[in-house]
Amino acid sequence: MMVFAMAMLPVWAVITGEQASRILESLERNLLTPIPLCFVLGIICTRIHGGIKIPKELYYSIAIFLLMSIGFMGGHELAHEYEAHGVSTIWKPALATLFLGCLTPITSYLVLHYVGRLSIADSAGIAAHYGSTSAVTYAVANSFVEQTQHPANSFLPTLVTILECPGIAIALIVGATLSARERAAKAAASGRPAKESKLGEALYEVITGQSIMLMAGLLLIGFISTMFMDSKSFQPFYDFFQSKGMLFRGVLCIFLLEMGLVAGEKLGDLLKVGPFLIAFGILMPLAHGFVAAYLGHAAGLNLGGCTVFAAIVSSASYIAAPPAVRLTLPEANPTLSITAALAITFPFNIAFGIPIYYEMAKWVGAQ
Amino acid sequence: MQLYPLKLVTVVGESVIMEDIAEEGMKLGATGFTMSEVSGHGSRSARNVASTTGAQTMKVEFVVPADIATSILTHVSHQYFEDYAVIAWLGDVQVVRGQQYVK
């Protein structure tokens, strides 16, 4: 908590008393709801060696449901948006997403390597996590804006899908290119042939990985079925997948409980990663979130849309990125990147980040 | 019943590389492999990250003639030992229907 308060000092310095009380109100409205509270329960349970255990199969089944639901509802809403406005409302946010997907891994890499003095591989490895996005952060942010009666633009799930890949790809390409020189020099010194790079394989696995296949696949299925099915036959699918529904919200609680259990285990690693990475895990998302809220507003997103957009841009991947980084940059230390993504940025976003992005979105003028 | 003397190569390591190791073992002359999810702890196992199926540590086993066993172990040690949490060992086995394991 102390570290968090210190890391937030520059933020507190530029906001007025009235804004601060509004942020605190939003924090309260966000924190005292079942989804973040389940996450907190998970952390507490791990720390006191409690007995909650979520079967791995259930966790992965829920992940599949959440990804399918996000994709399907995204496709459904996208079809309505397309019927009403064509592509006129979508292309600017999509372009902003692509731009930020390319920008965030580069800013993260520069800060980590030049300010934090981390090695090329570690900087690029962490940058790959922060360049990509977390679908669960999207789901929680979306629930938050629905609770505040400012639902996000319907096509936000499309933006989550766009954001998933470029960040990981750019960071891995930068990291692999820069560290290849070091590796070649090392191989020459030891007199052995250089090891083959697994960059291509890792990129293929990211693009054809579960997250993208399920989200993009269901987005297409939701879009096609909305266009071609009558609404009565479509209704059961809508009821099953809808993100405002009891099924989605309920399983999200179970998922967050498991995330809390995992994050609780990683808390011990906070001491190993040091104060720089803790500050990075809080301040970098805030900086990325602010740029995203600003660009999202400029691209025409509404208040809920800007909030969710800021949350997804600032979030860090912890499912797709770790294996890809491990394959491509084996000399990077995974404890650093996974602790930053899972034990610092994810809890920060769930508890404090999302309400702050909401206030940022208001501040830039989103309505 | 005739038994054939062959070698059992066992590789245990991070799940992200195990499918590659199985594939590379086949290229080096193995006629098959067995792969399973395992759990355990070692000096470098903190480096493990979960693969997309959630497995952290996996084991792959090959039953092969001695020369292929040597080439698999040489390949694994050169390609993976430095950067990944991985361990490999060799054992003597007596195999029923052993002729199937020789190409």
Q: CA of A204 to nearest chain B CA: how many angstroms apart?
A: 13
Q: Which of B16, B46, B50 minimises the CB distance to A327?
A: B16
Rounded distance between C-alpha atoms, residue A242 and residue B2, angstroms: 63
Count Cα neighbours of A261 within 13 Å in the Cβ-side half-sphere: 15
Question: Given 3.30.110.30, 3.30.70.120, 1.10.238.10, 3.50.20.10, which CATH number is that of B3-96?
Answer: 3.30.70.120
Q: How many whole angstroms separate alpha carbon A208 and alpha carbon A205?
A: 5
A96, amino acid identity = A
ipTM exceeding 0.95?
Answer: no
Which of B23, B24, B27, B49 has the most A C-beta neighbours within 10 Å, making it the best mutation to test the interface with A? B49
For residue B7, what are its two tokens? 């070698």
Q: Which of B85, B66, B88 is CA-nearest to residue B5?
A: B66
Q: What is the pLDDT of residue A212?
A: 81
User: Which residue on chain B is closest to A211 by alpha carbon?
Assistant: B52
d(CA A82, CA A78): 6
Q: Is B39 helix (H, G, I), strand (E, B) or coil?
A: coil
The DSSP call for residue B59 is: E
**Residue A19 within any structural domain of the chain:** no
Do the domain assignments include residue A12? no
User: Over 90: is that where the pLDDT of A319 sits?
Assistant: no
Residue A163 inside a domain? The answer is yes
Q: Which residue of A has its CA nearest to B16?
A: A323
How far apart CA A175 and CA A121 sit, in angstroms, is 6
Which pLDDT belongs to residue A1?
Answer: 44
For residue A219, give its domain range: 61-345
Copy the structure tokens of residue B44.
């470098």
CB-based contact A192 B79, cutoff 8 Å: no
Give the model's pLDDT for residue A366: 80
d(CA A231, CA A245): 18
With contact defined as beta carbons under 8 Å apart, do A69 and A248 qualify?
A: yes
**What residues in A contact B52, CB-CB < 8 Å?**
205, 209-210, 319-320, 323
Prediction pTM value: 0.83
Cα→Cα distances B12→A349, B18, B69, Å: 37, 8, 15
Residue A285 CB: number of other CB atoms within 10 A?
30
The answer to whether position A10 is within a domain reads no
* pLDDT for residue A195 is more than 90: no
The answer, yes or no, to whether residue A13 has pLDDT greater than 60, is no
Top residue of A261, A326, A337, A339 to mutate, by most chain B CBs within 10 Å, is A326
Q: Is residue A94 part of a domain?
A: yes
In this complex, the residue of B15, B51, B84 whose CB is nearest that of residue A330 is: B84
Interface of A with B (CB under 8 A): 56, 59-60, 192, 195-196, 198, 201, 205, 209-210, 319-320, 322-323, 326-327, 330-331, 333-335, 338
Cα(A205)–Cα(A286) distance, integer angstroms? 29
Q: Using CA of residue A185, residue A186, residue A190, residue A193, what is the dihedral sign?
A: negative
A93: CATH: 1.20.1530
pLDDT digit string, tens, across residues B37-80:
998 777 766 555 655 445 678 999 999 999 999 999 999 999 89
B61 at the A interface (CB within 8 A)? no
Burial call A298-322: b when 16+ CB within 10 Å, e when fewer: ebbbbbbbbbbbbbbbbbbbbbbbb
* Angstrom distance (rounded) from CA A334 to CA A327: 11
Q: What is the DSSP letter of B47?
A: G
Dmax (CA) for chain B in angstroms is 46
Q: Distance from A110 to chain B by nearest Cα, in Å?
A: 24
CA–CA dist A157, A155 (Å, integer): 6
Q: Using the predicted structure, report yes or no on whether residue A4 has a pLDDT greater than 60.
A: no
Give the count of domains, chain A. Answer: 1
